[in-house]
Amino acid sequence: MTAAYVALEGGHVIEGRGRAPGTARGELVFTTAYTGYEESLTDPSYEEQILTFSYPLIGNYGVREERFEDDRVHPRAVLARELTDDVADWLESEGVPAIDHLDTREVVTDIRDGGAMKCGIAVGEDATKEDALNELEACKGMSEHTEIGAQVSVDEPVVRGADNDGETVALVDCGAKGSIVDSLVARDATVHVLPHDTSVEDVEAIDPDILFVSNGPGDPANYEQAVSLVEAFVEETPVAGICLGQQIVARALGGTTEKMAFGHRGVNQPVLDLESDRVVMTTQNHGYTVDEPGEHLEVSQINVNDDTPEGLDGVEYDVLTRQYHPEANPGPEDTLDFFDDVLAMAGDRSQRAVPADD
């Protein structure tokens, strides 16, 4: 059996079975999703993290590329109770270390009780506990990556749905899942997928009907240019955001964000809509949340489990954001109408530009 070790903060080292060789370091998190492992593993929001699957068997329906959210695996390493050969082979081909035959209940409990933590991974024929501990020490010495957006964003603008005749969307790509873009294009929008550090001038040249800020990894405080874009356009252009996008929009409009103990990751998070009093099930993947929305936004939806904001609406501006993933890949499709609501905000901009009668 190939040696495999996971070194946790505090010095605890867990031994498992190596399924894909290599070393890795990063933040250890878990997802409660039963299915959708292909979507989770290709979600850019998992960049620089070690992903633990709490469901005991990962890979029982194979690996199909059409389910991928991006063109590569984003977690730095993967832990599971049992990985099928299909998934293990895929991870090895991607150069992502993988370990199974772990008590993932213990790992999840450690994260739940102690919060997301740094860890080191070592897998290989000659791997040792010391190798994993060395990775952990190197990880402890790392500050949170302030340029993480550059690792997951497009390098150059990309246009999707160029032949569509609906709304024009400027999507700020902070690590967007492919299905978010697909959801907009399927509704006849033309989507300009833009680098996370796109300038105000470049967005002005597009003259979008909607500015849309995507999901992505890391601390929203590190996406200063995306915050500046929201500040520049919010008074004249409808603004929408998903996940990290909600946090960026809140920061742009005077709100604050904070890191959560272990975040929300899975496809079974209940969300209460405060106006309709309806609960929907949602897909989520985030480690930060909006603490205070500020005076320009109001909380429209909350998480049933911990009351954190799940939806924000503009008080005086056309703003609509969600902390969860309405595109639902993977997960329930309770909230797909979010994209219809976003595109409906576009309306007739010329009408909004006309001052109201006294």
Q: Which residues are catalytic?
A: 243, 325, 327
Q: Which residues are paired to 258 by β-bridges? A: 289
294 annotated to bind ligand:
no
323 annotated to bind ligand:
no
The H or E element spanning position 265 is strand 256-273
CA atoms within 13 A on the CB side of 38: 17
The Cα-based distances of 282 to 60, 157, 279 in angstroms read: 23, 30, 10
218 annotated to bind ligand:
yes
The Cα-based distances of 33 to 16, 52, 217, 289, 336 in angstroms read: 22, 10, 19, 20, 19
Helix axes 337-344, 178-185, angle to 10 degrees: 60
Q: How far is CA 265 from the centre of its chain?
A: 9
**∠ CA 42-46-47, rounded to 5°:** 95
Cα gap 182→160, rounded to integer Å: 9
Tokens representing 278?
A: 């309806």
Q: Could you tell me the maximum CA-CA distance found in the chain, to the nearest angstrom?
A: 79
DSSP state of 325: B
175 annotated to bind ligand:
no
Cα gap 134→64, rounded to integer Å: 35
Cα gap 209→291, rounded to integer Å: 29
Task: Using CA atoms of 267, 269, 272, 273 in order, give the dihedral in degrees to the nearest 10.
Answer: -30
Q: Letter for the amino acid at 193?
A: V
Cα gap 254→88, rounded to integer Å: 45
161 annotated to bind ligand:
no
225 annotated to bind ligand:
no
Is the N-terminal amide bond of 21 cis, ω within 30° of 0?
A: no
244 annotated to bind ligand:
yes
216 annotated to bind ligand:
yes
Q: Give binding residues as ranges.
A: 45, 216, 218, 244, 247, 285, 287-288
Q: Give binding residues for L-glutamine as ranges.
A: 45, 216, 218, 244, 247, 285, 287-288
